[in-house]
Amino acid sequence: MLGRFVARRLVMLIASLLVASFVIFAALYAAPGNPISALSGGRSLPAASMAVLEQRYHLNDPFFVQYWYWLNGALHGNFGISITLRENVSTLIASRIWTTAGLVAYASVLIVIFGIGLGILSGLRRGLVDTGTLLVTAVSAAIPGFVAAIVLILVFAVNLGWFPALGNGTGLIGNLRHLTLPAVALAISSLAIVARVTRAAVRTEAGREHVQTAVSRGIPVRQRIRRHVLRNAAIPITTITGITIASLIALDAVIETAFSLNGLGAYLVQSAQSKDLAVVQGISLVLVTAFVLVNLVVDLLYAVLDPRVTLGSRAQ
């Protein structure tokens, strides 16, 4: 049963990636003008360069053949050449990917520890802790990352000087210091959402009848909470945490820009601004793949946690 579920999810994964990659590729043709002008970002090129482009992208071949060549290239790590920097896109990606990965990982850790932690705490108690959490998360959930960024920069970098405002820093400690404010900015609204959903899930599960059964049998409180409330709440908690972490992948472009970090997201935005389509396509493909993979992991975790899942997605 689990095997069938995994197989089905893998098929969906591949289908998703195919469709996404197709959309990314087809952007070349969706652009006004012909593909060459799209690739060159509207710049005029010497005939020799144009010929190179034509050959590289197999622009004289049928559409799907081009798509195949591009996809094949991508699978082998070849994403073409940046028209603005005249370097291999793959090299440009590789040099920036760790910043992005580090930032997303840092933010994810914050979300898991503080988001879930806060949610469990306020879900199990009533009174001040609970009301306070509700209020704080209501506001935080609405704070977009870039707004959080400017507030954090203002308070912690400019006024208090605890953390640097911009840039990447060097060395492990330097990197961590530079990534802290961005990670917090990235995590804040997601953290609030995870906390709220966790709280609601814990509340709901604590009110379930099977918990009453455990009470009626004299199961001690700690054990009851662990085995019957938290264990059951783990299902929606994992789902929302996974979804929010996946969303970080897109949001990090905004944060990297706000903090002038040298990551994939910031580079994506710059390339979009300068219409360097090959780079945009390459980075988009990497990010979408990461997004889909995270979602797949969430689905698998869900199946492991909830034995009622045999077929179908967690949408049910």
Q: Does 124 bind other proteins (CB under 8 A)?
A: no
Phi, psi of 144 (to 5 degrees): -65, 155
The yes or no reply on residue 147 touching other proteins (CB under 8 A) is yes
Nearest to other proteins of 232, 239 (CB atom): 232
Piece of the chain touching other proteins by CB under 8 A; list 12-20, 48-56, 70-78, 117-125: 12-20
CB neighbour class for 103 (10 Å; exposed up to 12, middle 13-18, buried from 19): buried
Work out whether 32 is an interface residue with other proteins (CB under 8 A): yes
Near other proteins by CB under 8 A, which window of 58-66, 71-79, 89-97, 224-232?
Answer: 224-232
The encoded tokens of residue 187 equal 């995590």
The phi and psi torsions of 31 (rounded to 5 degrees) equal: -65, 145
The identity of residue 135, as a single letter, is L
83 lies in the binding site for other proteins (CB under 8 A): no
Tell me which DSSP letter residue 81 carries.
B
End-to-end CA distance of the chain: 17
CB of 178 to other proteins, least distance (A): 15
For the segment 271-310, give every residue that binds other proteins (CB under 8 A). Answer: 271-273, 275-277, 280, 284, 287-288, 291-292, 295, 305-308
Least separation, in Å, of the C-beta of 227 and other proteins? 7
Beta carbons of 117 and 129 less than 8 angstroms apart = no
Interface pick for other proteins out of 6, 17, 121, 297 (rule CB under 8 A): 17
Q: Does 96 bind other proteins (CB under 8 A)?
A: no
What tokens does 308 get? Answer: 């009622």
